[in-house]
Chains A and B, each alone.
Chain A
């Protein structure tokens, strides 16, 4: 087989494809029978992934997605339609389809001009070629297997996304942004001699930056963390089932705040009063030790971007300040309904979707204690070092999370690992019972799905302790002690 050069999707400039003049014509078309606001959102996404399992590099995929949607506001009604090509006819067809829900409006739609931040330059080709990606994957796999003879199997995934967006709207906005994301995942499987027990570890950092990240956090380190998790499970005991103090590990522990609290602070849930936080602004919703911030401008994090998917600048938004509810996360639509400024949290899964208020990087600010002090101060409890999947109900704050890596704490020391644990409770109670917060803040990558739209987010926290939480395991506490 002959492939002369390694092809990549051309780094197209959306600003070349959609000039300010074309954007203006499309917006005017959308508003030609009236309306309050029109927006054009174009996206080019180039995704590449390679993965290896059991010593074979067996999957390599690439994908190109290109298109633009037109969104129209007519009174309280919003319409969206999209085109998968960027020529004028296709964009006009989308503009017409976006009107499907609108009446002939009394409000004349006006659009004079669009201008704004100069579009980003098309990036120079600095991507790692496939061959280099393969070597990075092989390094991770080798490292995982070399950690310990009990690590019998490993799989590694390396994926990148290069996403260019362009936003133009009838208020004169015209700007472009580009986001480069990278995710590297190692899964390690440990088995003991008699193959009686199996442990599974998984570690998957994700960043909005380039391959230089893997010079700082190496494939070997990522593999080591996955292997450590897998090995711990080999001598793990079944988790107890009881209420007890729970120390949540830094980083991924933040998924609890994301699910149980953050979704209830998305302004559309607040507007519908389907959130338990709807009428609690400036009231106590957590322990005074808890301060929660959402910040899409954090450099390099998985949920970061310079602007959101409506072209609004991202930045820090205080959600909970020393236990008091301080604010909500909003997009254009919800911020106007609430009479506040957008916090720059209008996000969408792709050009095919309507934006909603979504979290970016949401995390608990660090406190004064050290992680060791938090553990030492715990007589008996669960150290949930890493959580995996979970779910919460924003109407009442109930949540359940699976503990991926957990240990019992006895007399202030980390004791035996446990498997099969979940932690469950209610957001107000659980956050109200936070009685220790350490200084080791870490923000890690997660994918957040809501209403069929998946967006990349950062979740984070320092090590912290919840004085009492339901731990769901298989062994009633009496027999576990």
Chain B
């Protein structure tokens, strides 16, 4: 036991602030003792609150204080994984044994190994708000009241607030391995979600607003309320979308929503396994020159920023598409090796419960930004997509997708009539090729992965309405 946990009262699991890295180290040592050739432990702890108010009154409050560990072992070139929340010595031993038992049944792979220790320093990132712990329940409720007031004050059409929810989390992550990996970092995340109900002439529409920040004092509660009210009100009087092929401008939200469903197209594992249509396209133009796609784990404002990836490889920017040309794929250590290259630092774990897969931190659309209004001007007439609905993965094998949306008509460069129940069907490469301009209204959307996009102009897409 390390000093910090040994001094804790008996029976208490480690908490944020305790030495998670030492726990990970101990776990690796235990796995080697019990028969692993290589071992890696990924430990995570999180404290947070979430609360919801209704009509200005607190409805519920949830306090979370949670920790767990995931153990990856290699034994005779076979991989096994075990995870759990019991961090007592007996609990860890059980997880080690489960991981080893799993490694006994998987197929061997001579190229399998855990990544080695990085040669340089890990990037220094400030990802935690030291003041978050000082925010009290009253402060958080005040945020919600501010958001509700902003929503209700925006329009007389806003009848009520159906959901007003606040959440925050302080998370600590540590990783250690038998190959010398050792790292830890802390992040904080604060969000507010509001759903406003607008009513006019018997018609009811709901609109959601969502704002997030790393630091409590940076959370723009009023903006969340404004957004909810605006989206609810905009949908009042919406008519069914037309069935047509038209110029389409995706809002920053819609573009980010769509981008978030395309990760697998750029996955090094999917490329190795012939499961992405982009596999044979490295070096080729797959998108309009206006488009760049990259993963930026070092972005200061990125919700997914981190100093190292899910297997401890130092973070760096990975450019997937530059000025329309596919540069390569996102790799973890194993797919990098299998492809004859190296990891791009794209091993991703959604939590300690998941072994590292390929994924992104902050997956963003870049490119030369034009004023957002210019995109509407260029479109002239067409359809503005506010928000996608019925999201699902864009098939990496076919590139096809088909999603619902709500939005507005674009007429002579202006947003006019609201439209509903539209569907947008295309294949993703066709969409990438059709993007002829990206706006200057870039916005991050948290999630897995976090994504970021400005509004984008797509020259022609098929739209179906009712």
Contacts of A472 in B (CB 8 A): 402, 404, 422-425, 464
What secondary structure prevails in chain A residues at the interface with B? strand
Q: Which of A58, A200, A474 has the most CB of B within 10 A?
A: A474
Q: Is the CB of A100 within 8 A of B61?
A: yes
Interface stretch (choices A76-84, A159-167, A438-446): A76-84
> Which B384-430 residues have a C-beta within 8 angstroms of A?
389-393, 395, 397-398, 400, 402-404, 420-426
Q: In the complex, which residues of chain B have a beta carbon less than 8 angstroms from the beta carbon of A84?
A: 13, 66-68, 85-86
Which residues of chain B are within 8 angstroms of A273 by Cβ–Cβ distance?
A: 160, 162, 197
Which of these, A59, A62, A200, A475, contacts B82 with CB under 8 Å? A62
Given contacts A1-B75, A389-B392, contact A63 B402 (CB under 8 A): no
Asked if B355 and A61 sit within 8 Å, CB to CB, the answer is: yes
B81 in complex: contacting residue of A61, A76, A78, CB < 8 Å: A61
Assign chain A's interface to a size class.
35 or more
Kindly identify, within residues 131 to 150 of chain A, every residue whose CB is under 8 Å from any CB belonging to chain B.
Answer: 131, 134
- In this complex, what residue of A is CB-closest to B61? A101
Query: Which B residues from 68 to 112 make CB contacts under 8 A with A?
Result: 68, 75-76, 79-86, 91, 94-95, 97-107, 109
Question: Given the known A-B contacts A1-B76, A130-B105, A402-B402, are A422 and B390 also in contact in the complex, defined by CB atoms under 8 Å?
Answer: yes
Q: Which range holds the interface residue count of chain B?
A: 35 or more
Task: Check: A90 CB closer than 8 A to any chain B CB.
Answer: yes
Interface residues of B in 271-303 (CB under 8 A from A): 273-275, 277
- Given known A-B contacts A1-B75, A63-B353, A90-B12, A420 and B60 have beta carbons under 8 A apart: no
Cα distance, A273 to B206, chains bound together (Å): 11
Q: A326 at interface (Cβ–Cβ under 8 A)?
A: no
**B36, B98, B275: which has the most chain A beta carbons within 10 Å?**
B98
The CA-CA distance from A89 to B10 in the complex, in Å, is 10
Assess the A85–B13 pair: CB atoms within 8 A.
yes
| C-alpha gap A371/B324 in the complex (Å) | 49
Binary interface encoding of chain B residues 105-131 relative to chain A, with 1 for a CB under 8 A from any of its CBs, else 0: 111010000000000000000000000
Judging by beta carbons under 8 Å apart, are B464 and A274 in contact? no
Tell me the minimal C-beta distance from B368 to chain A in angstroms: 30
Query: Which of B68, B393, B425, B462 is the most central at the interface, judged by chain A CB atoms within 10 Å of its CB?
Result: B425
Pick the most buried of A53, A276, A402: most chain B CB atoms within 10 A of its CB: A402
Binary CB contact string for chain A from 261 to 299 against chain B (1 if under 8 A, 0 otherwise): 000000000001110100000000000000000000000
Report Cα–Cα, A65/B353, bound state, in Å.
10
- Interface positions, chain A 448-481, Cβ under 8 Å from B, are 470-476
| Residues in chain A near residue B86, CB distance under 8 A | 64, 66, 84-85
Q: Given the complex, which residues of A lie within 8 Å of B391, measured CB to CB?
A: 389, 391
Contacts of B205 in A (CB 8 A): 395-396
Residue of A nearest to B195 (CB): A274
For the complex, what is the distance from the CA of A442 to the CA of B452, rounded to whole Å? Answer: 41
| B392, A388: Cβ atoms closer than 8 Å | yes
Is B59 interfacial (CB 8 A cutoff)?
A: yes
* Residue in B57, B103, B390 whose Cβ sees the most chain A Cβ within 10 Å: B390
- Give A396 Cβ to nearest chain B Cβ, in Å: 6
**Quick check: is B381 within 8 A (CB to CB) of the other chain?**
no
Q: What's the Cα separation between A63 and B51 when bound, in Å?
A: 29
Q: Residue A204 at the B interface, CB < 8 A?
A: no
With A391-B390, A399-B390: A9-B109 Cβ-Cβ less than 8 Å: no
- A residues at B contact (CB < 8 Å): 1-3, 6-9, 50, 53-54, 56-67, 76-82, 84-85, 87, 89-90, 97-98, 100-101, 130-131, 134, 153, 189, 198, 200, 239, 241-243, 272-274, 276, 352-354, 388-391, 393, 395-396, 398-402, 419-422, 424-426, 470-476
Q: Which 7 pairs show the lowest CB-CB distances between chains A and B?
A: A472-B423, A400-B404, A389-B392, A400-B390, A60-B102, A472-B464, A395-B206
13 A–B pairs (Cβ distance < 8 Å), ordered by A: A56-B107, A60-B81, A63-B84, A64-B94, A80-B60, A80-B62, A89-B11, A200-B397, A241-B243, A274-B162, A391-B404, A422-B403, A424-B464
